[in-house]
Amino acid sequence: MTTPEERRGFGRTVAKLRKERGLTQEELAAKVGRTASWVSQVERGAQPVNRLPVIRMLADSLGVTEHDLRPEAHADEPAASIPAERSNDLDRARLLLSGHPSPGLLLRHPGLSPEDIGQLREAVTQVWDHAHNSRYVELSEGLAELLPKLERAVRTSVEAERSAGWSLLSQTYQALAAAFVRQDQPDAAWVAADRAINSAERSGEPHQVFAGIFRLVQAFVRLKHLDQAEHAATSAVDALVQAQDDAEPAPQELSLLGALYLSLALVHARGGARQEAREAVTRAREVANRLGEDRNDFNLEFGPTNVEVQAVSIAVELGDAGEAIESGTRINPEVLSAERQGRLSMDLGRAYAQRRQVGEALAAMLAAETVTPDLIHTHVAARDAIRELVLTSGSKASPELLQLAERSDAMP
């Protein structure tokens, strides 16, 4: 199964059989030992399924034969003829979080050669580039290969390079936490963020600790543990404010403070605390004005533009659709990553949906899908908005809307 059309055809078959059996994506995922995100990607044709053991598991879970599921996948097909499967899910990375990251090195023999820290630094930069541009195949593959090397490096490198190794490990776990949040796996994001914080402290770089706390807050929000999210964000904000009272802050410290204010705004918005959410956005805007430019310290993308993008998201969370639309349509997000650009379009789509402006909402959602397909197809709020658009439209739903709903598994 190599062409996009073949993948889409296979995905349509899986989706049809799943729905006929009354299974949700989550239920099918549990049967095959994968995640709902993986099932969603398979059904959209974004995730190839080429290995016969995986096809067999899907067929067994759906109660059909392998031939029914994929006629060309014969049991006697030589393994060498099966294309290698490139996964854009994070199952392999999730397994790496299970247990101690490098148990073999606890009893390692002397003489192990250290990893090259310089090459690992380039790999970490590449992983974050994939994360910012929602390239999940490359991100998943990069993380699964990079994490074991870094865990080995911090335990085998010479003393002079060990701090740099712990810093790189923290940055990689932060990327993993961010990816897990985006793929709606917040329990794994919590573990990854905690390891990022631990690695950052061992690196001797306290600012990386605060960046790790930001990732932890995002995981808590997705888990709906708003009290824990508020505590983590507020404690970090208080510490940064205190430190900045004692000395003029560096730009990196302002980025951290502003990003944490934005995370606090989201926590308050999810909790329905309107005034507190707006106050946090105001604080973030003040910090962005002090910073005076869009930056990407600690891969936070904090700056004046991202504050306004996040302000749109907060307005949508609070149900202030008119404000979100008025503000969002004035933003030029081209200086931000593809992920941030897609998020703005998605939130505008949600705002238009709140006002039942179906045409405008659909256009915004399709724009977001063009930039970051996985965001629209897997984000719970986006799927809810698309489902509501279909219900609102009823028999007048356009083919484009129905097709988007199918791709996002958002049909009522």
Domain extents in the chain: 1-86, 333-412
Which tens digit of pLDDT belongs to each residue from 154-173? 888 877 888 999 999 999 99
Instruction: Give me the mean pLDDT over the 266-274 stretch.
Output: 95
Fold of 1-86: 434 Repressor (Amino-terminal Domain) (1.10.260)
pLDDT single digits (tens) 180-227: 888 778 999 999 999 999 999 999 999 999 999 999 999 999 999 999
Mean pLDDT of all residues in 13-24? 90
- Distance CA(363)–CA(343), nearest Å, equals 14
pLDDT at 385 over 80: yes
- 82 has pLDDT over 80: no
pLDDT for position 113: 64
Q: What confidence score (pLDDT) does residue 75 get?
A: 43
Per-residue pLDDT at 280: 98
Q: Give the per-residue pLDDT at 88.
A: 57
Please compute the mean of the pLDDT values over residues 239-259 and round it to a whole number. Answer: 92
Res 78: pLDDT = 45
Per-residue pLDDT at 108 exceeds 80: no
pLDDT at 109 over 60: no
What pTM value is reported for the model? 0.82
Average pLDDT estimate for 250-257: 96
Q: What is the pLDDT of residue 353?
A: 96
Examine the pLDDT at 81 and tell me if it is beyond 60. no
